[in-house]
Structure 1
């Protein structure tokens, strides 16, 4: 345990003043506008929204500016603000099949219904620093517009009964982890909710481990899509669904090998990832970890860290992890003095016992 911080109000106030000065930087340099952060640092904004569990680009941009670019601090700020907001209800399940696609690729089939849509991606850049700040010329729209709806790539395998089928209504009603504590064992819906706001770096490490042999994972990127999805609610006073807006989502469906078990014939299985905004790396990592966590369900050996749901889910939250690590900076004077006193006592007892030991025994021990 740690003791509460007492006294030092003047020092704390001065520290906050220094923080404000450091955050602003050189006053001769124009201050960052929220629109600049929102439009030019959109991937950072997306991550803050994902892990902050709040879809608001302006608030995420504000958090990034206030945190001076420290993403974990920005996530903490946004999530703390989120707890102050009233809850009006829950939306209906999002239909990602009807996504207005901006990017859609598959690593399993070259020709897919609707085609491959590269969209905005760093995948084909040379990763060279661009010192030329000349604005990029506007891109001419494609002659052939994208179809409004793109069938899922995994439906091709589903038509041949080569991949597990997950019908509508097969998942239990998910708990709200923002209001209910995480309880183990957690069902898949709860695990996915936890992973969707988990730390991207942690999930990336877990996902990487599954590909290096620390789980029964042989993945293929079935489909990765990013685009806008309509959000609908069904108010009680109306009795029917209405559309209240749209959000950008990134969805990933991984295909994994499976040799059958528990009465299930050999078939491919699924790993699923979904996150707010543009976040392919997060969605892919989430899908790999989701599949690894299904080991018990699929009667696979459970031996790897990524397959241990208590380990993964309990340590994936960036706010909790950051807080628990950073609390070590707070005063622990009483605790340390207690341990220091105990250690001095034990050391003195050990020295006294050695001094009381007969000399011949000591000499014998040395000669031996």
Structure 2
């Protein structure tokens, strides 16, 4: 269908909305909210992460309204979030208290708590399910029993005990970091701010930058020290109570990326960290975030810089899918006046270029002027 000049203003817009609604609902047998919540878990997790709001039901509603467009769904969720009052701030989430469902380490074969594969397709062939996915997996008698979530100590603490891994980089002050949901991003951005921006950044953008660091544009050689997913408690400390209470739990994925570091004048050779944390079950997202976060620390660690993933202003200014969507999609809106002005300029330049030399306007050079180009 080609674009044509439309008339009618509000009537045309209403007709466009009605057409879209008709396509979305079809014969009335479309996907229900419950079906979306249970069947599209990874998509809902991404919408919650980029929408910066943990609510699977609202994310599912946004996904259905956006007809499966993940960026549009995140846009809807974050817009809704901006209308909600903030009643109380929670305390920092302690991932050490995670009830782990999945926990793998690429650097240790045997470690306390063991490897826990969890719900994953990492170890299966990527084959298309011709039955539509209706067939359920039936474990055999030789399959180990499903493990229940439990608390497991961190894997890379083993390196820390031998002083082979840097300590957790701490901020210079104990004040709370700026909240990016209420405070604009400013540079230079400290690590706590960078982590906030990356945590709600576009997964595709983070993945591409992370991939670039592996292809020689980041000077890194990382290993997954630990990747874990599970439920962590959310705690608040209401002033009127004077003590902490748990109000629920959320599912998060945490990645500790270990990277070799040759040392500097003030630090011995050791391994450094890259950190990623995302809402929901999001291995790829957490790993990408950890790779990019480590790349952004290049200047801090005295390493050579100059690659895109090492440039905080480039990365943080362009990782937000909501801002990127606004800048790109606004180009579809009317720009008649702007284009007409540029059209007249191009026509005038072309007319002057084809005009015989003796008829062209003469520019008189004043003393002290730069050479005319």
* TM-score, reference length from structure 1: 0.91
Match of 1:151 in 2: 153
Alignment partner for residue 279 of structure 1, among 279, 282, 285?
A: 282
Unaligned segments of structure 1, at least 5 residues: 358-368
Match of 2:114 in 1: 115
Verify the 8 A CA contact 1:222 1:255 in the aligned structure 2.
Answer: yes
1-structure distance, mates of 2:172, 2:233:
23
Q: How many aligned positions are there?
A: 351
Q: Deviations over 1:215-250 (max 9, x none)?
A: 121100000000000000000111111000000000
Verify the 8 A CA contact 1:114 1:146 in the aligned structure 2.
Answer: no
Alignment of 1:269-308 (within 5 A): 269-308=272-311
Query: Residues 69, 153 of structure 1: CA spacing in aligned structure 2 closer, same or farther, 3 A cutoff?
Result: same
Q: Deviations over 1:130-165 (max 9, x none)?
A: 122444156599559557321111100000000101
2-structure distance, mates of 1:34, 1:169:
42
Match of 2:370 in 1: none
Question: What secondary structure sits across from 1:349 in the alignment?
Answer: helix
Alignment partner for residue 227 of structure 2, among 215, 224, 229?
A: 224
Match of 2:136 in 1: 136
Alignment partner for residue 332 of structure 1, among 325, 331, 335?
A: 335
Verify the 8 A CA contact 2:101 2:149 in the aligned structure 1.
Answer: no
Query: Residues 344, 68 of structure 1: CA spacing in aligned structure 2 closer, same or farther, 3 A cutoff?
Result: same
CA RMSD, Structure 1 to Structure 2 (Å): 2.0
Verify the 8 A CA contact 1:104 1:118 in the aligned structure 2.
Answer: yes
Deviation at 1:53, TM superposition (A): 0.3
2-structure distance, mates of 1:335, 1:36:
46
Q: Which of structures 1 and 2 has the larger relative contact order (alpha carbons within 8 angstroms, sep 6+)?
A: 1
1-structure distance, mates of 2:72, 2:275:
28
2-structure distance, mates of 1:145, 1:62:
32
Query: Residues 10, 261 of structure 1: CA spacing in aligned structure 2 closer, same or farther, 3 A cutoff?
Result: same
Unaligned segments of structure 2, at least 5 residues: 1-5, 361-373
2-structure distance, mates of 1:66, 1:207:
31
Query: Residues 134, 320 of structure 1: CA spacing in aligned structure 2 closer, same or farther, 3 A cutoff?
Result: closer
